[in-house]
A and B are shown apart, each in its own frame.
Chain A
Amino acid sequence: MDDQLLRMINQILAKGETAALVTIIATRGSTPRKAGTKMLVLPQGEIHGTVGGGCIEADIRRAALQAIADGESTTGTFTLLGDTAADEGMVCGGIVEVFIRVL
């Protein structure tokens, strides 16, 4: 993991604050980023790192914010196959599964 991300996670935990660390755990088909890629989502919606950008990242960010609100870590599957993806010009045509770790 990126040292900078690791430092931010430590700061968040030390201050007793919360956030969600999103990790791509599996991919199928063509996806912009591979397993192990991480993105940190703060409760206000700010993100650090990227899981590929575009609409899929927006969906994942939304799911991460929901997980923070629920206070529960979870997994989620997101697809780049939809019409929205094509409209956005993101036609990688893949599926990513992420683990959302609520810190």
Chain B
Amino acid sequence: MRQQTAESYHKLLQLAEQGRTVNTLSLVSGPPKVAGHLGQMLLVFPDGSADGVIVDGELTRAALAHVPRPAVKPALFAFDHGGDTYRCFFDIAAPKRQAVVFGGGHISQPLVAILALMDFRVTVVDDRPDFANRARFPQATTVLCTAFAKAGEQLDLGGASAVLILTRGHRYDIECLKMALPFTPRYLGMIGSRRRVTAIMDTLLAEGEDPQRLRAVRTPVGLDISAQTPAEIAVSIAAELVAAYHGGAQYRPLSEKVFRHG
């Protein structure tokens, strides 16, 4: 049992390091005869195949057959087998969410720290060695010192990624935006004044960029909380990102949501 557990966790770690999604199915309760088997775990792959054994082949198959569909969130479920009731926990082990921050300036610093706290794997890109270095971004998973236009060749910005464009200039912002748009990341934000972002959007529309894809860009980035300092602006960006990831578009104080005073 212990050997089996060790092997399962070893595989889970290897898969996590490869950024792969693998779900698990664990026996959490059952009749006294399986007391020694509690905690036995299957690795369940996206294609539906499974690795491991819960008690025996028959119970393993029964457990897998009872996983609630669609299997997209952690779920506890019970099923009967051979006159006994068993309960299993289906757990989702999605790889860490990724955020890519273009620009290593003064807002990126607190933003990277906040994103890391929120358990994102953060990549920072800047073309200046003085800005793209680990000393400036100790919490980043990766710091790339490369031309912005080149970064797209090394990065996957799709899927559940967040892309934040905070470069020092309008020219670089356009480069990064053009690179990121085809990936349709989960969250795509670009900083800038009203004038700067309007000019960028107009340029891209004139170049024939898809208007619908451009509408998905959150620019100027962040929620309107009257943020002033770099750290405050980073909070405003992070707050918008949280809402985007959890499917919410209702930015309002909880106090307003809970209490409706006349």
Where the two chains meet, the residues of A that have a C-beta atom closer than 8 Å to any C-beta of B are: 1-3, 6-7, 9-10, 13-14, 23, 25-26, 34-36, 72-75, 97, 99, 101-103
Distance between B92 CB and nearest chain A CB, rounded to angstroms: 6
Asked if B5 contacts A35 (CB within 8 A), the reply is no
Chain B binding surface SS class: mixed
Q: When the two chains form their complex, are residues A99 and B28 in contact, meaning their CB atoms are under 8 A apart? A: yes
Measured in the bound complex, the distance between the Cα atoms of B56 and A10 in whole Å is 25
B39 touches A101 (CB 8 A): yes
What class of interface size applies to chain B in its complex with A? 20 to 34
Residue of A nearest to B29 (CB): A75
18 more contacts with CB within 8 A, not counting A1-B91, A3-B13, A36-B91, are: A3-B17, A3-B96, A6-B13, A7-B13, A10-B13, A13-B5, A13-B6, A13-B9, A23-B91, A25-B89, A26-B76, A35-B74, A35-B75, A36-B92, A73-B28, A75-B87, A99-B39, A102-B39
Pairwise interchain contact A9-B9, C-beta atoms closer than 8 A = yes
CB–CB B26/A10 < 8 A: no
| A99 to B73 CA separation, bound complex (whole angstroms) | 17
The majority secondary structure among interface residues of chain A is: mixed
What residue in chain A is nearest B95 (Cβ atoms)?
A3
Contact of A1 among B6, B16, B39, B73 (CB under 8 A): B16
- Which residues does chain B contribute within 8 Å of A74, judged by CB atoms? 38
Query: In the assembly, what is the distance between CA of A14 and CA of B16, in Å?
Result: 18
Total CB contacts across the A-B interface at under 8 A: 61
Q: How far is the CB of A71 from chain B (nearest CB, A)?
A: 10
Complex CA distance for A34 and B76, rounded to whole angstroms? 12
Can you list 6 A-B contacts with CB-CB less than 8 angstroms, sorted by A residue number? Answer: A3-B13, A6-B16, A13-B2, A36-B74, A36-B91, A75-B29
**Is B35 at the interface (CB under 8 A from chain A)?**
yes
- List, in ascending order, chain A residues with CB within 8 A of B39's CB: 73, 99, 101-102
Within 8 A of A (CB), among B1-40: 2, 5-6, 9-10, 12-13, 16-17, 26, 28-29, 35, 38-39
Q: Mark B197-233, 1 if CB is under 8 A from A, else 0.
A: 0000000000000000000000000000000000000
List A contacts of B73 (CB < 8 A): 35-36
* Least CB distance, B71 to chain A, in whole angstroms: 13
B65 to nearest A CB, angstroms? Answer: 19
Nearest chain A CB to B232 CB, angstrom units: 26
> How long is the Cα–Cα vector from A89 to B110 in the complex, in angstroms?
31
Closest residue of chain B to A4 (Cβ to Cβ) is B119
